[in-house]
């Protein structure tokens, strides 16, 4: 049985120092204010800090597949991949430019010796103000099996949790719609891993009622509708958080899996007890509340010893031989 280390990380504002091609003028003006003081030295330090954590993943071997959000463009992803060269991996990039109003995207970095990206799609979330698309990549493993990865970064709570909830409900409904289409095309045993920063917790309506993400394996396995298993419920029970707000842990970064992975009929399954909130010791703030140490940016409080305002999450995916 082959085992893959899969991770996801909101890397907090991984911006470039140059304007991204194709970005509208209004966005470039907004970013110029937000990124005042963001220069090559700051970007280099940010990349170095992110790389320090990523190179510790998978017991120092690095991830096989890493989902990322809050990256501006392919150029910064290439810089990040270059910084991971000591791992000796054949990392490749899957990325899609979105019309997000802050210019941040969702992407994947993957080991080309283990996965081949065959197709990629972006699913637009219809919202009055531009937001990140849902990004889907259909991979093939070296063994020839198809594994579909879907990256998410749902609308934030910055205007209030309840005030912004309808936008995340729209994102959940969009994800649910495309899961129906995937199963129509690929069958009920399709292997799908959905990951991302959902800006909601596993119990929120956007996930439970609209994405149909469950806490019950039996319900996913026996349901006639397309349901997903949310793997992050145990983290809630353990009092863990991937993001801290007002000193309270929030599980915003999550993995969801399809019925075909739950049953194992897809040829893939999740290792028992393998889902983790990766609280590497360098990232953890001292004091009573183990929040991640954020990096920030020069236009606000910046800490060049920081990393991100989110912890990574990881899981082990097993493939039958």
pLDDT in tens, 4-38: 999 999 999 999 887 656 566 656 666 777 778 88
Adjacent-strand bridge partners of 276: 314
Distances (CA, A) of 77 to 67, 103, 298: 11, 14, 21
Tens digits of per-residue pLDDT, 114-134?
999 999 988 878 766 557 789
**What confidence score (pLDDT) does residue 19 get?**
66
Residue 112 makes CB contacts below 8 A (sequence gap 6+) with 90, 91, 92
Nearest to 193 by CA among 8, 2, 1: 8
Phi, psi dihedral angles at 121 (to 5 degrees) = -140, 155
Q: Is 3 left (phi over 0), alpha (psi -120 to 50) or beta?
A: beta
Separation of alpha carbons 49 and 47, rounded Å: 5
Q: Domain spans of the chain?
A: 2-319
Tens digits of per-residue pLDDT, 157-196?
888 899 889 999 999 999 999 999 999 999 999 999 999 9
pTM of the entire predicted model: 0.94
Separation of alpha carbons 102 and 197, rounded Å: 16
CATH topology of domain 2-319: Deoxyribonuclease I; Chain A (3.60.10)
| Number of neighbouring beta carbons within 10 Å of residue 2 | 15
């Amino acid at each position: 049985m082959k085992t893959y280390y899969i991770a996801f990380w909101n890397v907090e504002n991984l911006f470039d120092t140059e304007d991204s091609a194709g970005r509208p003028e209004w966005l470039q003006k907004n970013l110029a204010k937000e990124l005042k003081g963001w220069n090559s030295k700051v970007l280099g330090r940010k990349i170095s800090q992110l790389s320090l954590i990523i190179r510790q993943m998978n017991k120092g071997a690095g991830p096989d597949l890493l989902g990322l959000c809050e990256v501006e463009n392919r150029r910064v992803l290439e810089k990040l991949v270059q910084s991971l060269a000591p791992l000796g991996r054949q990392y490749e990039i899957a990325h899609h430019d979105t019309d997000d109003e802050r210019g941040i995207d969702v992407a994947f970095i993957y080991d080309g010796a283990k996965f081949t990206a065959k197709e990629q799609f972006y699913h637009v979330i219809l919202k009055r103000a531009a937001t990140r698309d849902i990004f889907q990549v259909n991979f093939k493993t070296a063994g020839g099996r198809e594994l579909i990865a879907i990256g998410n970064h749902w609308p934030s709570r910055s205007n209030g949790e309840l005030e912004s909830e309808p936008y995340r409900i729209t994102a959940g409904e969009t994800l649910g719609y495309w899961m129906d289409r995937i199963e129509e095309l690929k069958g009920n045993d399709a292997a799908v891993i959905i990951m991302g920063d959902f800006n909601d917790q596993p119990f929120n309506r956007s996930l439970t009622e609209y994405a149909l993400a469950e806490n019950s394996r039996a319900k996913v396995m026996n349901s006639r509708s397309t349901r997903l298993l949310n793997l992050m419920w145990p983290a809630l029970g353990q009092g863990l958080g991937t993001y801290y707000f007002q000193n309270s842990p929030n599980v915003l970064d999550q993995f969801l899996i399809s019925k075909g992975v739950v049953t194992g009929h897809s040829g893939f399954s999740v290792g028992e007890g393998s889902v983790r909130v990766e609280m590497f010791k360098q990232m953890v703030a001292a004091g009573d509340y183990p929040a991640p140490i954020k990096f920030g940016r020069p236009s606000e409080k910046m800490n060049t010893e920081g990393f991100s305002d989110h912890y990574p999450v990881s899981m082990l995916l097993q493939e039958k031989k």
